[in-house]
Amino acid sequence: MPVLVMKFGGTSVANLDRIRRAAKRVGVEVAKGYDVIVIVSAMSGKTNELVGWVNETSPLYDAREYDAVVSSGENVTAGLMALTLQEMDIPARSWQGWQVPVQTTSAHASARIEDIPPANIEAKFAEGMRVAVVAGFQGVSPEGRITTLGRGGSDTTAVAFAAAFKAERCDIYTDVDGVYTTDPRISSKARKLDKIAFEEMLELASLGAKVLQTRSVELAMRYKVKLRVLSSFEEQSDEAGTLVCDEEEVMENRPVSGIAYSRDEAKMTLISVADRPGIAAAIFGPLSEAGINVDMIIQNIAEDGRTDMTFSCPTEQVARAEKAMEEAKTSGTINYHNLVADTDVAKVSAVGIGMRSQSGVAATMFKTLSDEGINIKVIATSEIKISVLIDRKYMELAVQALHDAFELEKAA
């Protein structure tokens, strides 16, 4: 029988009533003749609560135990979803990651899926099971320890299952009815897109649009998974939501397709480092080894052989970045006057494959921010995106102004 993957995010399984509603959606697809793999998140707020408990117990926690704790939210919803389906006379059972098994790397808290052997679940489908309810976000390491895939990781579980089982489609059910031109919580003028290209979705996700985890988009692109985002709160047709697809399938030709933001950025400046060959390697090598996700970088003009180096990284990694720099200073590989961390910044980005062929996007972006009196602290560009770092207090204003400037309220 054809296989369908359906993923329900935290708000879609937030309580027993919501789980029943999601189960009804699953029932509709089962009735159409699909064998269904349901991927569930923890109930909304649960993972945050578990992370909080870990941090309170042990600030510099053992990541293996962090994973043991934070993966547990999904176990509860998987069992409850299986029970709900059984109550509807649909043969279903739950699977934790290790039971499938979802084999991952040992990078605790940000593990990558390496393989999902389909044999165990396929054997149960052959015996008459119609729905496999899998706990998202979790897997098992080569050492046999429970791992998690990073926040938002159930999206990645879903796409990885769709690839492993050659599913006809991977439907991501969430609390919005698709991918919008920007976060609808920030701008009431945000418009739902019927289709979005993989490359654009990848940039939007990595620049902060939480609607899909970045890695899930990467996997969908690589394994050609038909990926759809839709709402679990409304009745849905087969055409509902947003289809994430190849560039050729998207007919629109706007320079900008969406505006993303990330609140959790910090701007770090190393004051007065030696301006010499190898200085960037001496700074960013240790940062990379410490697992810091450096995004934007600027090196100022040198004066008297000294310069300042600025980079951005997630706010939660500031302490680790400071430690890595102090260690490099102590060991003598770099020398700097001091390290200034500005954690009151946010990153706002415009994304669009149309930028490749249309000029003037950067100019429009800078003029728009300037008209609003917003100072740009750092700029980074790639072929299909322009990002700026600004004071966090202007973040929403910047998103709305850019949404207006690129006339995204006319998108569809």
Of the candidate spans 9-17, 88-96, 123-131, 305-313, the one that interacts with ligand ADP by CB under 6 A turns out to be: 9-17
Q: Contact between 10 and ligand ASP (CB under 6 A)? A: yes
Residue nearer to ligand ADP on the CB measure, 191 or 377? 191
Of the candidate spans 140-148, 180-188, 286-294, 319-327, the one that interacts with ligand ADP by CB under 6 A turns out to be: 180-188
Q: Least distance (Å) from ligand ADP to the CB of residue 269?
A: 29
Of the candidate spans 39-47, 127-135, 274-282, 393-401, the one that interacts with ligand ASP by CB under 6 A turns out to be: 39-47
Q: Which partner in ligand ASP, ligand ADP, Mg ion, none is near 398 (CB below 5 to 8 A by kind)?
A: none
Near ligand ASP by CB under 6 A: residue from 13, 23, 37, 42: 42
Near ligand ASP by CB under 6 A: residue from 21, 151, 226, 329: 151
d(CA 382, CA 391): 22
Residue nearer to Mg ion on the CB measure, 27 or 136? 136
Query: Which residues within the stretch 57-76 sit at the binding site for ligand ASP (CB under 6 A)?
Result: 73
Residue nearer to ligand ADP on the CB measure, 183 or 265? 183
3-state SS of the chain? Answer: CCEEEEEECHHHHCCHHHHHHHHHHHHHHHHCCCEEEEEECCCCCHHHHHHHHHHHHCCCCCHHHHHHHHCHHHHHHHHHHHHHHHHCCCCEEEECHHHCCCEECCCCCCCCEEECCCHHHHHHHHCCCCEEEEECCEEECCCCCEEECCCCCHHHHHHHHHHHCCCCEEEEEECCCCCECCCCCCCCCCCECCEEEHHHHHHHHHCCCCCCCHHHHHHHHHHCCCEEEEECCCCCCCCCCEEEECHHHCCCCCCCCEEEEEEEEEEEEEEEEECCCCHHHHHHHHHHHCCCCCCCEEECCCECCEEEEEEEEEHHHHHHHHHHHHHHHHCCCCCCCEEEEEEEEEEEEEECHHHHCCCCHHHHHHHHHHHCCCCCCEEEEECCEEEEEEEHHHHHHHHHHHHHHCCHHHCC
Near ligand ASP by CB under 6 A: residue from 97, 153, 286, 354: 153
Of the candidate spans 1-9, 274-282, 290-298, 348-356, the one that interacts with Mg ion by CB under 5 A turns out to be: 1-9
- How far does Cα 213 stand from its chain's mean position? 2
d(CA 191, CA 178): 9
Residue nearer to ligand ADP on the CB measure, 61 or 233? 233
Near ligand ADP by CB under 6 A: residue from 211, 227, 287, 346: 211
Q: Which partner in ligand ASP, Mg ion, ligand ADP, none is near 183 (CB below 5 to 8 A by kind)?
A: ligand ADP
Q: Least distance (Å) from Mg ion to the CB of residue 155?
A: 6
Query: Which residues within the stretch 121-180 sit at the binding site for Mg ion (CB under 5 A)?
Result: 152
d(CA 359, CA 125): 53
Q: Contact between 152 and ligand ASP (CB under 6 A)? A: yes
Site string for Mg ion, 337-376 (x = CB under 5 A): ----------------------------------------
Q: Contact between 198 and ligand ADP (CB under 6 A)? A: no
Query: Which residues within the stretch 250-309 sit at the binding site for ligand ADP (CB under 6 A)?
Result: 258
Residues with Cβ within 8 Å of residue 38, at least 6 apart in sequence: 5, 6, 7, 8, 22, 26, 81, 131, 132, 133, 134
Residue nearer to Mg ion on the CB measure, 261 or 394? 261
Q: Contact between 208 and Mg ion (CB under 5 A)? A: no
Q: Which residues contact ligand ASP (rule: CB under 6 A)?
A: 9-10, 41-42, 47, 73, 136-137, 151-155
Q: Which residues contact Mg ion (rule: CB under 5 A)?
A: 9, 152
Q: Which residues contact ligand ADP (rule: CB under 6 A)?
A: 9-12, 41, 152, 174-176, 179-180, 182-183, 185, 204, 209-211, 258
